[in-house]
Amino acid sequence: MFNRYRVGNAQIIGRRKMQSNYFSTKCNKAGDMLAVLADGTIDHPNGRRAAVLAVEYYLDAMSHEAYSGYTNLFALETAMQANRYVQSSVFTGRSPRLSLTVALFTKGEMRYFNVGTNKIFLYDGINERIIGGDATSSYSSGKQVLFSKNIVGIMSVGVHVSTHPMDRIRVIESKKIKIFDKAQAVVEFIDKKGLSNQLNATALLVEVVR
């Protein structure tokens, strides 16, 4: 538990040879939390390397930037810098592309930046909806007001294309399981489907406690 938030996460490799999804969460003393998810997109060691480098680059950039200074422009510029850093660090082999999602949870709101195939969802206790654009959007950024008991889902393409919204809602509405178990249940549901083309799948759920 990160002060104002409870976090659950889970992932599977799917039918890929490499796990090219990488994520991290970081909380400061004020109780703000940063969540980052990157997908290296290709089934290759360079995909995994790209995802790790991008997440670590973003976390390092945020450690040098006061959270109050986080703006949409800062998020975009840092993402571009992270991409250049990744491309310059991968010398041989296949060149990966990146999907990157960054969400900064501060008291009462979430500031987000998303580019690529990942999606951010909000469950408000009744419905689920995509934050920032629609199902076809590949770029979005902005702010979202959050309330107690809201659940934010940051999901790689391997999750949101393999599950129907009602499947995810059914798991989230399971009152008897904690948020970590909810994330596990989403991924277990995908694994049981046994899709022959299943991509890497990562689900990161953040529940607002107060």
pLDDT tens across 159-199, in order?
999 999 999 999 999 877 899 999 999 999 999 999 999 99
Contact 183, 6 (CB under 8 A): no
Quick check: 6 pLDDT over 70? yes
- What percent of the chain is modeled with pLDDT above 90? 66
CATH of 5-208, one of 3.60.40.10, 2.30.40.10, 3.40.50.2000, 3.30.1510.10: 3.60.40.10
Per domain, the residue ranges of the chain are 5-208
How many Å separate Cα 57 from the centre of its chain? Answer: 16
**How confident is residue 110, by pLDDT bands cut at 50, 70 and 90?**
very high
pLDDT band at residue 155 under the 50/70/90 scheme? very high
Q: DSSP for 73-118? A: HHHHHHHHHHHHHHHHH--SSPPP--EEEEEEEETTEEEEEEESS-
Judging by DSSP bridges, how do beta strands 151-155 and 139-145 pair with one another?
A: unpaired
- For residue 19, what are the contacts with CB-CB under 8 A and spacing of at least 6? 11, 13, 48, 200
Q: Is the pLDDT of residue 70 over 90?
A: no
- DSSP symbols for 11-28: EE-TT-SS--EEEEEEE-
Q: What is the pTM of this model?
A: 0.92
Calpha distance 161→207 (Å, rounded): 22
